[in-house]
Amino acid sequence: MLRTCSECGATNRVPARHLTDTGRCGSCKAVLPPLATPIEATAEVFREVIQNARVPVLVDFWADWCGPCKMAAPEVEALAKEMAGRLVVLKVDTEREQEIAAQFRIQSIPNFIVFRKGQAVLQRSGAAPRSELRRWVESQSGT
Protein backbone atom coordinates (compact mmCIF):
# COMPACT_ATOMS: atom_id res chain seq x y z
CA MET A 1 0.00 0.00 0.00
CA LEU A 2 1.21 3.50 -0.73
CA ARG A 3 0.81 6.26 1.86
CA THR A 4 1.76 9.90 1.41
CA CYS A 5 3.63 11.70 4.17
CA SER A 6 1.69 14.76 5.35
CA GLU A 7 4.94 16.57 6.17
CA CYS A 8 7.06 16.18 3.02
CA GLY A 9 4.69 14.61 0.49
CA ALA A 10 6.91 11.56 -0.03
CA THR A 11 5.25 8.29 -1.00
CA ASN A 12 5.87 5.46 1.46
CA ARG A 13 5.22 1.78 0.83
CA VAL A 14 3.44 0.27 3.85
CA PRO A 15 2.58 -3.44 3.98
CA ALA A 16 -1.12 -4.15 4.64
CA ARG A 17 -0.28 -5.77 7.99
CA HIS A 18 1.18 -2.43 9.17
CA LEU A 19 -1.59 -0.05 8.08
CA THR A 20 -2.78 0.31 11.67
CA ASP A 21 0.72 0.81 13.12
CA THR A 22 2.52 4.09 13.74
CA GLY A 23 5.52 4.33 11.44
CA ARG A 24 8.02 6.84 10.09
CA CYS A 25 8.36 8.45 6.67
CA GLY A 26 11.30 6.95 4.82
CA SER A 27 12.28 10.39 3.54
CA CYS A 28 11.84 12.95 6.35
CA LYS A 29 11.31 10.55 9.30
CA ALA A 30 8.05 12.28 10.30
CA VAL A 31 5.48 10.11 12.06
CA LEU A 32 3.07 8.21 9.80
CA PRO A 33 0.04 7.66 12.04
CA PRO A 34 -2.22 4.62 11.75
CA LEU A 35 -4.48 4.71 8.71
CA ALA A 36 -7.55 6.82 9.57
CA THR A 37 -9.32 7.04 6.19
CA PRO A 38 -11.08 4.50 3.97
CA ILE A 39 -9.06 2.99 1.12
CA GLU A 40 -10.57 2.86 -2.37
CA ALA A 41 -9.92 -0.81 -3.09
CA THR A 42 -9.01 -2.42 -6.38
CA ALA A 43 -9.13 -6.22 -6.57
CA GLU A 44 -5.42 -6.40 -5.75
CA VAL A 45 -5.67 -4.06 -2.75
CA PHE A 46 -8.78 -5.88 -1.53
CA ARG A 47 -7.01 -9.27 -1.53
CA GLU A 48 -3.86 -7.90 0.08
CA VAL A 49 -5.66 -6.13 2.92
CA ILE A 50 -8.21 -8.86 3.65
CA GLN A 51 -5.49 -11.53 3.83
CA ASN A 52 -2.86 -9.54 5.74
CA ALA A 53 -4.60 -7.06 8.04
CA ARG A 54 -4.00 -7.77 11.73
CA VAL A 55 -7.23 -6.01 12.72
CA PRO A 56 -10.82 -6.31 11.49
CA VAL A 57 -11.58 -4.92 8.03
CA LEU A 58 -14.89 -3.23 7.26
CA VAL A 59 -15.68 -3.28 3.54
CA ASP A 60 -18.23 -0.79 2.20
CA PHE A 61 -19.66 -1.92 -1.16
CA TRP A 62 -21.04 1.15 -2.92
CA ALA A 63 -21.64 2.88 -6.27
CA ASP A 64 -21.52 6.52 -7.31
CA TRP A 65 -25.17 6.54 -8.45
CA CYS A 66 -26.47 5.19 -5.11
CA GLY A 67 -28.12 7.81 -2.88
CA PRO A 68 -28.05 5.73 0.33
CA CYS A 69 -24.34 5.00 -0.34
CA LYS A 70 -23.64 8.73 -0.45
CA MET A 71 -25.54 9.19 2.81
CA ALA A 72 -23.55 6.38 4.46
CA ALA A 73 -20.14 7.63 3.25
CA PRO A 74 -19.60 10.28 5.97
CA GLU A 75 -20.45 7.72 8.66
CA VAL A 76 -17.97 5.24 7.17
CA GLU A 77 -15.27 7.93 7.03
CA ALA A 78 -15.95 8.98 10.62
CA LEU A 79 -15.72 5.36 11.78
CA ALA A 80 -12.36 4.92 10.02
CA LYS A 81 -11.05 7.98 11.86
CA GLU A 82 -12.59 7.00 15.19
CA MET A 83 -11.20 3.46 15.08
CA ALA A 84 -7.79 4.27 13.55
CA GLY A 85 -5.31 1.64 14.68
CA ARG A 86 -8.09 -0.87 15.45
CA LEU A 87 -9.85 -1.14 12.07
CA VAL A 88 -9.11 -0.86 8.36
CA VAL A 89 -11.92 0.39 6.12
CA LEU A 90 -12.08 -0.48 2.43
CA LYS A 91 -14.50 0.98 -0.10
CA VAL A 92 -15.31 -1.20 -3.10
CA ASP A 93 -17.02 0.48 -6.05
CA THR A 94 -19.34 -2.25 -7.32
CA GLU A 95 -19.37 -0.73 -10.82
CA ARG A 96 -15.58 -0.94 -11.19
CA GLU A 97 -14.95 -4.09 -9.16
CA GLN A 98 -17.80 -6.30 -10.33
CA GLU A 99 -15.90 -9.54 -9.70
CA ILE A 100 -15.51 -8.77 -6.00
CA ALA A 101 -19.18 -7.81 -5.74
CA ALA A 102 -20.17 -11.05 -7.47
CA GLN A 103 -17.87 -13.13 -5.25
CA PHE A 104 -19.73 -11.89 -2.16
CA ARG A 105 -23.17 -11.92 -3.82
CA ILE A 106 -23.72 -8.20 -3.40
CA GLN A 107 -27.23 -7.59 -4.69
CA SER A 108 -28.11 -4.37 -2.88
CA ILE A 109 -25.98 -1.43 -1.80
CA PRO A 110 -24.70 -0.06 0.40
CA ASN A 111 -23.58 -3.43 1.69
CA PHE A 112 -21.07 -3.96 4.48
CA ILE A 113 -18.92 -6.97 5.27
CA VAL A 114 -16.66 -7.32 8.30
CA PHE A 115 -13.61 -9.54 7.74
CA ARG A 116 -11.42 -10.98 10.43
CA LYS A 117 -8.29 -13.04 9.73
CA GLY A 118 -9.22 -13.21 6.05
CA GLN A 119 -12.75 -14.51 6.61
CA ALA A 120 -16.10 -12.74 6.28
CA VAL A 121 -17.72 -12.79 9.72
CA LEU A 122 -20.68 -10.46 9.20
CA GLN A 123 -22.58 -9.09 6.21
CA ARG A 124 -25.34 -6.47 6.29
CA SER A 125 -27.00 -4.32 3.65
CA GLY A 126 -28.45 -0.84 3.98
CA ALA A 127 -27.16 2.47 5.27
CA ALA A 128 -26.43 2.61 8.98
CA PRO A 129 -25.23 5.22 11.45
CA ARG A 130 -21.64 5.09 12.67
CA SER A 131 -22.70 3.74 16.08
CA GLU A 132 -24.32 0.73 14.43
CA LEU A 133 -21.35 0.14 12.11
CA ARG A 134 -19.06 0.27 15.16
CA ARG A 135 -21.31 -2.18 17.02
CA TRP A 136 -21.12 -4.64 14.06
CA VAL A 137 -17.33 -4.47 14.03
CA GLU A 138 -17.01 -4.78 17.81
CA SER A 139 -19.51 -7.66 18.04
CA GLN A 140 -17.41 -9.71 15.66
CA SER A 141 -13.93 -8.73 16.73
CA GLY A 142 -13.80 -7.93 20.41
CA THR A 143 -12.42 -4.52 19.40
Partner residues linked to 58 by β-bridges: 89, 114
**What proportion of the chain, given as a percentage, has pLDDT over 90?**
92
Res 141: pLDDT:
61
Q: For residue range 62-90, what is the model confidence (pLDDT) as tens digits? A: 999 999 999 999 999 999 999 999 999 99
Q: Is a pLDDT exceeding 50 seen at residue 124?
A: yes
Stated pTM of the model: 0.92
For residue 139, the model assigns a pLDDT of 85
Residue 140's pLDDT band, with cuts at 50, 70 and 90, is confident
Q: Which helix (H) or strand (E) holds 99?
A: helix 98-103
Decide: 47 and 41 in contact? Cβ < 8 Å.
no
- DSSP-derived secondary structure for 24-67: E-TTT--EEPPP-S-EE--HHHHHHHHHH-SS-EEEEEE-TT-H
User: pLDDT value at position 103?
Assistant: 96
Q: In the prediction, which pLDDT does 143 show?
A: 46
**Class of the CATH-defined domain 36-141:** alpha beta
What is the tens place of the pLDDT at every residue in 95-108?
999 999 999 999 99
Is residue 6 scored above 50 in pLDDT? yes
Active site residues: 66, 69
Write down the mean pLDDT value for the chain.
Answer: 94
* 126-138 residue pLDDT tens: 999 999 999 988 8
Provide CB contacts within 8 A for 79, sequence distance 6+.
58, 87, 89, 130, 133, 134, 137
